[in-house]
A and B are shown apart, each in its own frame.
Chain A
């Protein structure tokens, strides 16, 4: 199979945040249909409850069938007394995806990579099966985006966090988002270069539905693979905009089929319905087909 017709990977259109210390949400969050759920052990959990939340989440991982949903933990930073323990308890319990908050440098990824390798070895888990989402939330992080994305093969997604970014930048967070546009573009570009998914920041203005829709469309246009969300009611809206339309899918299927029949992956041009189609167009069509498959719209 050539580059232009790569197999679809799992879709990551939505990443729903949920606190890790709420038994109901641990049992419910994946039912709202987001592609990924991030159970938060960091900001959402008080210091006094860190151990209890971790233990509860570990039990949930052992008990609950989360189906196709990718389950992440937002780890406490490794420089705190909780971060390493999060990894040592949750990975044996079944956790395979973890978000490293405030990732500023590739060294932080390497540190987590080393820890994961150690824990995988200790528990007989295939080396490399634990994956990392690097969360870029400062100007330093954004500047280091490509180095972070390529610091380990475990890094499969990179997310952008606007709140901390604007705070550290000294800018006001606005609905229009001009203050974060450049940073977002840099994250998407670095992710694209590294061949991983870029995940856009949350929309914090829950009551502004129109603004939310516009921001989702902007995310799609910029090249993000998905968007973080803080409420289940946001999932449907994000999916509807991140999932290609029926018309787009039909058109792309025709192009992909024609390309496969013509076997032009090493270059060249084909004709579909009287139009000249080249490799970039075929790649885009394949992306649409992959997205549709990952979203379950087509089989």
Chain B
């Protein structure tokens, strides 16, 4: 057997030039190094005539009418999060119909999707594309390679790009719709299973050959507030429930009371203030994690005291961002997925709360995306290394247990990217010499804020100078790592086999890293 040539990408990860089950590897070469060529992918044309009916009786009938066959690609969104019933319902039906070898394209996979484990083991699902993976499926893939080929991990922007470019060709998009009219116009913020913005399927429906809406709130045509139009929808199935409302959205967003998270958040807000980015017209995004969200609290105090009004906030929208909007701290809120009940309600009633597709949010290969307009981004991390590379996908044990999400997209886009993280979790150091998996490249990360100190990426001399001038103490990330290792010791490295179980794509489709199977 010929030994494959090994290439090294810009974050110094060694990659084979070809990965079985994935294909040729394009090495990551920098955040904006890849220039797209050619035309976008286009789905097959549709056809309709007066009197056509889209409503079908069952999911099985919809699958049959769409002509699903072995080896095809189907897509789902994860807006129903831990409460999703739809992906499992469809996969169960496909399995019963005896169809095999399905390539699953999910915007992310959550705990709700654990039942598909059986479909992976039985060969119904033989390909997985997702932003994140957790729980038993992740464990079985990391340890036992049950898929038999790598899972392809993409960022939210990267997924939209891959679909638009035709790297992913969706045969059928199944769209869980909290409200849908009889011709397929849908929205996500009305109905008993409302989840808010429909950012992910907005892309899928434009490029899938067939689109099936699955709803538990079928309403007469025409629906007034339309997020996805009938022009892209082939069939509609009415079901009793598309999800468990208790697990779809969290109730009210509460700022953490954890003193460590608050300490980190307060320091992060001091960094933002000292950097001079918080001024009239600024834009902002923060993750929904404890410290990220708590930054909003300190930011709000500062904005109020100094009478500062921002241009827009974006996300992954939390209730806190909606409060910002409603209280006039920002002119607009861009929303690609809504986390809290209050966000879902706001989307339907506030014209300044703008629903956006994941392509508009973060795709680098369209003609402009919101992530590139951000002044600042607050991210969390599972690990960060002395090159400022971030891992948010695997644990230090090598187990897949997280997601890429929009972190690489927003870090590349924002003028200032601040990572908030504790230096250790339990006894595991978070600051390390080499992250287990690179997800967000260090060259797009500017500042790390921890409970034990603040580190500025040496690339950002301007930020370092601003913090020095403000009297904010900083230390090198190497020093911080040493301090932390003194407390935690240096954990033993996980041993891996040569089998690649995951390919981590950067937003432009190049390969940032691979995840190998954990040695038994």
Contact = CB atoms under 8 A, between A and B. Distances in A.
B487 interface: yes
A79 B303 CA distance: 56
B91 to A, nearest CB: 42
Contacts of A27: 487
Contacts of A64: 487
Contacts of B486: 63
A31 B452 contact: yes
Interface string B241-273: 000000000000000010110110000000000
Nearest to A231: B259
Interface string A62-79: 011100000000000000
A64 B451 CA distance: 15
Contacts of A65: 483
Interface string B475-492: 000000001001100000
A31 B487 contact: no
Contacts of B259: 32, 231-233
A28 interface: yes
Interface in B420-454: 451-452
Contacts, number: 20
Nearest to B264: A31
B451 A233 contact: no
A231 B259 CA distance: 8
Interface residues of B, number: 10
Interface in A220-259: 231-233
Given A63-B486, A63-B487, A64-B487, A31 B451 contact: yes
Interface residues of A, number: 10
A210 to B, nearest CB: 17
Contact of A32 (B257, B263, B487): B263
A296 to B, nearest CB: 10
A28 B487 contact: no
* Majority DSSP secondary structure for residues of B touching A: helix
Interface string A35-71: 0000000000000000000000000000111000000
A28 B262 contact: no
Contacts of B483: 65
A85 to B, nearest CB: 26
Most B CB within 10 A of own CB, among A28, A63, A233: A28
A63 B260 CA distance: 21
Contacts of A28: 260, 451
Nearest to B487: A27
B456 to A, nearest CB: 19
A114 B487 CA distance: 35
A57 to B, nearest CB: 15
Contacts of A232: 259, 262-263
A286 to B, nearest CB: 24
Nearest to A236: B266
A28 B487 CA distance: 11
Contacts of B487: 27, 63-64
A63 B488 CA distance: 11
Nearest to A27: B487
Contacts of A233: 257, 259, 262
Interface string B443-476: 0000000011000000000000000000000000
Nearest to B422: A28
A231 B263 CA distance: 13
A64 to B, nearest CB: 7
A65 B482 CA distance: 12
B268 to A, nearest CB: 15
A85 B20 CA distance: 65
Contacts of B263: 31-32, 232
A130 B260 CA distance: 31
B399 to A, nearest CB: 23
Interface string B199-231: 000000000000000000000000000000000
Nearest to A31: B451
A64 B487 CA distance: 7
From B263, B483, B486, residue with most partner A Cβ within 10 Å: B263
Contacts of A231: 259
B491 to A, nearest CB: 16
A63 B489 CA distance: 12
Contacts of B451: 28, 31
Nearest to B266: A236
A65 B259 CA distance: 20
B267 to A, nearest CB: 10
A231 B451 CA distance: 16
Contacts of B257: 233
Contacts of A32: 259, 263
Interface string B316-347: 00000000000000000000000000000000
B263 to A, nearest CB: 6
A28 B488 CA distance: 13
A65 B483 CA distance: 9
A232 B452 CA distance: 15
Interface in B80-119: none
Nearest to B483: A65
A231 B486 CA distance: 26
Interface string A251-294: 00000000000000000000000000000000000000000000
7 contacts: A28-B451, A31-B260, A32-B263, A63-B487, A232-B259, A233-B257, A233-B259
Closest 8 pairs between A and B when the two form their complex, measured CB to CB = A232-B259, A31-B451, A27-B487, A32-B263, A233-B259, A32-B259, A31-B452, A28-B260
Interface of A: 27-28, 31-32, 63-65, 231-233
